[in-house]
Structure 1
Amino acid sequence: MPNFRSVDFHCDVLWKLLEDRSLSFEQDHTGKLDVTLPRLRQAGAVLQTFAIYVPERMEKSMVPILHSIDLFHRKILSVPDMTFVRSSADAARLMNRSKIGAMLSLEGADGLHGDLAMLRILFLLGVRVVGLTWNHANWGADGVMEPRGGGLTKKGRAFVEECDRLGILLDVSHLSDRAFWDLAQFAPRPRIASHSNARSLCAHPRNLADDQIAALIQQGGMIGVTFVPQFVKAIGESEIADVLRHVEKICELGGEKQLMFGSDFDGIESYVRNLNHPGELHKLQNALLARYSEEMVGRFFAGNALQFLVKHLPG
């Protein structure tokens, strides 16, 4: 079987490092991390996106966000195998070098409190993807689990406009449906769903309805199929075959060139059977190769995402 390189658009290693500063990404001997350097090597990783997530028990301010960025530099970028990805040129170089790209995203902008200066500072520090909310409401929008299901606020709209001006990619994965459609009205740049599946196959609110997937595809955005078991299958144990159903649905809707993966490793406590960490991605690869061409599977694993980043990251 061919051995493809891989891109993963969402993991929560930084959250675990924030909670436990003793953990090591380079060589984890505790078994507490899903995503580690040895496992990324096993996966043939070309790019890993590291999400900054501030757990609910911590203060909603820039302090834990900056601590997370500090940990990213000290524990991930300090590893010689890793290289920072901030620009289109950085992304273009990844396929021709042996190092693994590391990109920063922000999952929930609560700590910015609508201050666009804080957003600009995060851009200068290398954050290139932002999800405005986590599951709940904040100053900018309602998250997908907020009962009232509100859309973007006035501050949220100003935030979106500044992200577009800077070249920050906006992630819709945790937005309420109304906020998703509010964001879709901002036409200049395509959006991504870093880690969401198809709601028509698994009726979890965090998944995307078919018309949302179609809108992302029409705008040239990206959808990261995720391995969160409760987003893969509503009842019973999730298996790789169930992940393939979401891949097939997105392809049926015309998204074969906009499909990628966003594992949510280190942000989950249960796993799709036989898909427990990046070192097992070859099992998903083999299952896909039974249904799709080598060229198409290569695009799913890395080609689509890299092409998108080359086109849409700042120069």
Structure 2
Amino acid sequence: MQRKFLYLVVAILFLSFTSTSVLAQPVEVQDTESIHFDATVIDGHNDTMMKVINEDTWLPETDIGDETSFQLDIPKLQTGGIDAPFFAAYTSGYYDNNPRSISRTLALINALYWTEEQNPDDLNISSTTKEIRQAVKDNKIAAIPTIEGAYSLQEHNALGLLHQYDDLGVTVLGFNWNYSNALGEGADRVYGDSERTPSEGGLTALGAEVAQEMNDIGMAIDVSHMSRNTFWDVMEVTEAPVIASHSGVNGMKNHQRNLTDEQLLALEENGGLINIVFYPAFLTDDSEGYVKDVVDHVEYAVDLIGIDHVGLGSDFDGASMPSDLQNASEMPGITEELASRGYSKQEIEKLLGGNALRVLKEVEKAAKYDPYERGVSPVIKPDYEMGEIIDVRTPLLKADIATKKGPAVDENSLKVIVDGITYEPDYNEETSTLSLQLEEDLQERFHVVTFEAANKTGKVTRETRIFYIGD
């Protein structure tokens, strides 16, 4: 009996050792296709939505469900095995015109919702790790909404509008493009006015408040495009991991948009992630650039801070691409290059998307409320669909409220929020209708409205819609 037991122990140890060794073994290049397409591949940044919209009206007009001339569309994502791209609502800001910054940001978020509507069998907006995994399981593209350049957030509307962006599914938010704003200093260390007025300092008091609120609601902070000072201030404030959505490493290429070794080590300590950008100007002195340059930056970061803190963030449709990685369909070239350098299957899976999923999950865990508890009751039914065109500049914004089971509506809880500003609405108890008549003309085209109600036990429901003034 003892001898049999000894044999069993030896066998278990042998199997354990051999299975671990297999995982750690470098991948044969011919095996990379199966590894790539079996992995959950996450691309941490693209600007495709700004190509989807009409540049005059900002309404969506180009369906990326079809093949396009863009660097990214659904057929290219499918060919390239990219499961979960971060779709950025990018703006460099409209200096001293906050309503226009709001409108532009909403136009690009609306374009993503329109894209989902055009392609229900192929793409699903996914804002949580649970939704991402489900979309991938259903063989759909998990489209993750993000914001690049939070120029819409100002002292008078920041927290209200931030929560509306959260309602719309925004998962990651970058404070800056390159210009400075009310939240902090951008990489160029100037404001976006015509004089390019120099800025000072890092994170503002408002920026710190927004960062803390993002931690609380489970929205990830994107540190790409921040100045060095703003980055360090964010790292002091945040209690959740951060993401550099599309940056390079300064140790390979000296550039203000790349992270220094000290910043990378801070990311490691924070539990965060750097997604290596594909833009050759950030990677190499060679204007063409190649896949090997992307992986050089990946390898440098891995050697410095470990395999668990590095991912990929292309910047498709926002920058020129390497000669052998011209669009999303050529993404498997990254996996081939990683395999040729001796990375194991497990390591490649982490770099392709596993690390990004981990960070997003940790950001969710750090939140101080459970998003899955919201919306139990009452039920709110706005009069408008997402992206609906309204033909007056002083619209009557309405929604019906009902309770299925449980306590009645608390009338003192009723709110209507427009572009981050909270208003006290009218409530018709007989028809259970919540309404707000706007008295001043809305100047810009895109706006966002939220109807909020709670029952008498405090359960809150919010319904948020983007609308367009089309007069």
TM-score category, normalised to shorter length:
over 0.9
Q: Does the CA-based 8 Å contact 2:136-2:142 persist in structure 1?
A: no
Paired with 1:93 and 1:194, the residues of 2 have a C-alpha distance of 23
Distance 1:310 1:93, change over 3 A: farther
Partner residue of 1:61 out of 95, 101, 105: 101
- The answer for the alignment partner of 1:12 in structure 2 is 47
SS of residue matched to 1:9: strand
Paired with 1:242 and 1:163, the residues of 2 have a C-alpha distance of 34
Aligned residues: 312
Q: Does the CA-based 8 Å contact 1:14-1:68 persist in structure 2?
A: yes
Partner residue of 1:193 out of 244, 254, 258: 244
The structure number with the bigger radius of gyration is: 2
Q: Which moved more, 1:300-309 or 1:50-59?
A: 50-59
What's the C-alpha RMSD, in Å, of the aligned pairs? Answer: 1.9
* Mapping 1:141-160, distance limit 5 Å: 141-146=184-189, 148=199, 150-160=201-211
SS of residue matched to 2:225: coil
- The answer for the alignment partner of 2:420 in structure 1 is none
Q: Which amino acid aligns with 1:22?
A: E
- The answer for the alignment partner of 2:26 in structure 1 is none
* Mapping 1:199-214, distance limit 5 Å: 199-214=250-265
- The answer for the alignment partner of 2:112 in structure 1 is 72
In the TM superposition, what is the alpha-carbon distance from 1:140 to its structure 2 partner?
0.9
SS of residue matched to 1:195: strand
Paired with 2:206 and 2:92, the residues of 1 have a C-alpha distance of 23
Partner residue of 2:79 out of 42, 52, 65: 42
Q: Does the CA-based 8 Å contact 2:135-2:142 persist in structure 1?
A: yes
Distance 1:100 1:135, change over 3 A: same
Q: Which amino acid aligns with 2:110?
A: D
Q: Which moved more, 1:66-75 or 1:220-229?
A: 66-75
Q: Which moved more, 1:123-132 or 1:92-101?
A: 92-101
Partner residue of 1:229 out of 273, 280, 288: 280
In the TM superposition, what is the alpha-carbon distance from 1:177 to its structure 2 partner?
0.2
Partner residue of 2:151 out of 94, 105, 110: 110
Paired with 2:160 and 2:327, the residues of 1 have a C-alpha distance of 37
* Mapping 1:290-305, distance limit 5 Å: 290-291=340-341, 292-305=343-356
In the TM superposition, what is the alpha-carbon distance from 1:217 to its structure 2 partner?
1.2
Q: Which amino acid aligns with 1:249?
A: Y
Distance 1:309 1:280, change over 3 A: same
Paired with 1:187 and 1:26, the residues of 2 have a C-alpha distance of 38
Paired with 1:65 and 1:236, the residues of 2 have a C-alpha distance of 31
Q: Which moved more, 1:45-54 or 1:14-23?
A: 14-23
- The answer for the alignment partner of 2:338 in structure 1 is 288
Name structure 2 gaps, 5 residues minimum. Answer: 1-30, 191-198, 365-370, 373-471
SS of residue matched to 1:155: helix
Paired with 1:232 and 1:286, the residues of 2 have a C-alpha distance of 19
Paired with 1:142 and 1:90, the residues of 2 have a C-alpha distance of 33
Paired with 1:161 and 1:241, the residues of 2 have a C-alpha distance of 38
Q: Does the CA-based 8 Å contact 1:229-1:271 persist in structure 2?
A: yes
Paired with 1:266 and 1:57, the residues of 2 have a C-alpha distance of 21
In the TM superposition, what is the alpha-carbon distance from 1:168 to its structure 2 partner?
0.8
Name structure 1 gaps, 5 residues minimum. Answer: none
* Pair 1:2-2:42 in alignment: no
Paired with 1:142 and 1:264, the residues of 2 have a C-alpha distance of 21
Paired with 1:91 and 1:311, the residues of 2 have a C-alpha distance of 15
Paired with 1:159 and 1:55, the residues of 2 have a C-alpha distance of 19
Q: CA-to-partner distance for each residue in 1:24-64, whole Å, 9 max, x for gaps? A: 211134x1x11100011012122111000125579543212
Q: Does the CA-based 8 Å contact 2:80-2:328 persist in structure 1?
A: yes
SS of residue matched to 1:104: strand
Q: Does the CA-based 8 Å contact 2:264-2:305 persist in structure 1?
A: no
In the TM superposition, what is the alpha-carbon distance from 1:155 to its structure 2 partner?
1.1
Query: Which has a greater percent of strand?
Result: 2
* Pair 1:25-2:76 in alignment: no
- The answer for the alignment partner of 1:276 in structure 2 is 326
SS of residue matched to 2:184: coil
Q: Does the CA-based 8 Å contact 2:278-2:322 persist in structure 1?
A: yes
Partner residue of 2:88 out of 37, 51, 59: 51
Distance 1:145 1:112, change over 3 A: same
In the TM superposition, what is the alpha-carbon distance from 1:96 to its structure 2 partner?
3.0
Q: Which amino acid aligns with 2:106?
A: L
Paired with 1:17 and 1:241, the residues of 2 have a C-alpha distance of 30
Normalising by the residue count of structure 2, what TM-score does the alignment of the two structures yield? 0.63
Identity of aligned residues (%): 30
